[in-house]
Homo-oligomer: A and B are copies of this chain.
């Protein structure tokens, strides 16, 4: 309740390492056990009426063994998860320039709206006449996506970027089949995101890597040389994973199309160009958009997301079920292949149960309506401006493999660390001590010891300047041979460096009860 006046506090800098504690906690940073070590199978955090099942209709399949699930009361649950949360970095609390991941601010309005019962408490299979507002919202979002990309069609159901890639590649595969052809190869630039080759492989294609040119873009000549009648398509990220715009898009599209192949564009970085560039004018055939990046649905520690795919007229008929239709009777879903065929479509199938990531749709549409055309353009401009500002402010001391202008992210390599004893990973871990989430490291693979910095448009200049100052200081320190402080980093995080090798060698993937002594 109250403090008496204490003695004047000592002003010497005490040694924090001397501050070993009895509890193991450190001030506001708490150690926290596993729920299985806290709770108990007899404990529950819900109050439900006891039901005596005098009879049942379980067909003799009642569970015979206990599960072993720990239960916790609400106070315990609250403490557990609040403490765990406090051991995470987040965009809300710090700059999080994780390249290729678009860690931008997530507006809280969008969270509120996604929780309106009219969106959150409706069932995917209730009669369609009872969900006209929901279907209208999906239609409206589809309209924005088509207009922004300049593409005539969109498949809304893919559940993330990689799922969108799969959708797009399956459409390409279906289109080729529809032409009665068989094409087996997909060309993928070496800077591609890992999901690109993985997706192509999932569709049964062989993946052929196309090397990058000196300027960090696709080598057009190499691409042309690789094109042949067995090439189904190319998967190209644009802006690419070096943060650069593929200048030769139109030439690439022409070459690909001339070879009878399709042009898949990985649009995960659409945020760099939204409202300024219509990819539809570049000759692409399919492109997924990560609503969880470009349109700011929160990343949630790894998901969920949504990866709608826009299609060119060529691929549009192959879009998966369900199809969204708006006619005089209102909004309607076509969920049946025959009905789709009757409507002139030849769907590639169904990407998932139900109709897509409604929760993300609401947030993305709220984001779009909030920004409007003008705001979205500003998003792209500020994202690109911020990345170029970082590039310009660091490139004299941190080596940049490609000249600017970059798009939404600035790429550096480890040339500047040569002979310092410090490596890219050390820079990342040191940034943790400095209160920043590190940039993406060792990706893309095309440069050595890559550091990919994506500031996004929602970062204030003061924050960029602080980061720049720290990076410059770190470069200086590395050059001064102060590698010790790097190797031991992070010192100030809830954990020091974790042994990933041991984790993989003898995987412990779940808790198990201690064997009784």
Roughly how many angstroms separate A2 CA and B451 CA in the complex, as a whole number?
11
Q: Report B-chain residues with C-beta under 8 Å of the C-beta of A459.
A: 75
State whether A27 touches B440 (Cβ < 8 A). Answer: no
- In angstroms, Cα B9 to Cα A9, docked, is 37
- In the complex, which residues 386-442 of chain A have their Cβ closer than 8 Å to any Cβ of chain B? 423-426, 428-429, 432-436, 440-442
Q: 1/0 per position for A252-273, CB-CB distance to B under 8 A?
A: 0000000000000000000000
Does A251 sit within 8 A of B, measured CB to CB?
no
Q: Separation in Å of the A444 CB from the closest CB of chain B?
A: 10
Contacts of A494 in B (CB 8 A): 27-28
**A332 within 8 Å of B (CB atoms):** no
* Residues of chain B lying within 8 A (CB to CB) of residue A89: 28
Which chain B positions have C-beta within 8 A of A21? 433-435, 492
A493 touches B107 (CB 8 A): no
Given contacts A1-B443, A79-B93, A435-B21, contact A74 B107 (CB under 8 A): yes
Write the chain B residue with the least CB distance to A494: B28
Q: How many whole Å from A80's CB to the nearest CB in chain B?
A: 10
Q: Out of B4, B92, B474, which one reaches A425, CB within 8 Å?
A: B4
* CB under 8 Å from chain B, chain A span 460-517: 460, 462, 466, 469-470, 473-474, 485, 487-488, 490-494, 496-501
Please tell me if A126 contacts chain B, counting CB pairs below 8 Å: no
Contact of A22 among B434, B458, B493 (CB under 8 A): B434
Which residues, 26 to 46 on A, are CB-close (under 8 Å) to B? 26-30, 38
Interface size class of A (residues with CB under 8 A): 35 or more
Known A105-B75, A108-B74, A494-B28; judge A440-B1 contact (CB<8 A): yes
- Could you tell me the distance in whole angstroms from the C-beta of A461 to the nearest C-beta in chain B? 11
For chain A residues 1-33, which have a beta carbon within 8 Å of chain B?
1-10, 12-19, 21-30
Cα(A501)–Cα(B88), bound, Å:
36
Q: Is A101 an interface residue (CB 8 A)?
A: yes
With contacts A18-B485, A23-B470, A92-B78 taken as known, whether A3 is within 8 angstroms of B492 at the C-beta atoms is no
Taking CB atoms, residues of chain B closer than 8 Å to A492 are 16, 19, 21, 26-29
A100 contacts the other chain (Cβ, under 8 Å)? Answer: yes
Q: Is A28 touching B491 in the complex (CB atoms < 8 A)?
A: no
A128 CB-CB contact with B under 8 Å: no
If A27-B492, A93-B79, A473-B22 touch, whether A501 touches B105 (CB-CB below 8 Å) is no
Asked if A90 is at the interface (CB within 8 A of a chain B CB), the reply is yes
- Residues 43-66 of chain A, each 1 if its beta carbon lies under 8 Å from chain B, else 0: 000010000000000000000000
With contacts A14-B491, A460-B75, A498-B9 taken as known, whether A93 is within 8 angstroms of B28 at the C-beta atoms is yes
A17-B17, A75-B458 known; A101+B433 contact, CB < 8 A: no
A484 to B405, CA, bound (A): 57
Nearest CB of B to A106, in Å: 9
Choose among A21, A436, A485 the residue with the greatest number of B CB atoms under 10 Å from its CB.
A21
* A76 on interface, CB distance cutoff 8 Å: yes
When A16-B17, A93-B82, A433-B21 are in contact, do A9 and B75 touch as well, CB less than 8 Å? no
For the A-B complex with A7-B423, A82-B93 known, give 11 more contacts whose Cβ atoms are closer than 8 Å.
A3-B441, A4-B441, A6-B425, A16-B17, A16-B491, A23-B466, A23-B469, A26-B435, A74-B107, A75-B460, A83-B93
By a beta-carbon cutoff of 8 Å, the part of chain A in contact with chain B is 1-10, 12-19, 21-30, 38, 47, 73-76, 78-79, 82-83, 86-90, 92-94, 98-101, 105, 107-108, 370, 423-426, 428-429, 432-436, 440-443, 452, 458-460, 462, 466, 469-470, 473-474, 485, 487-488, 490-494, 496-501
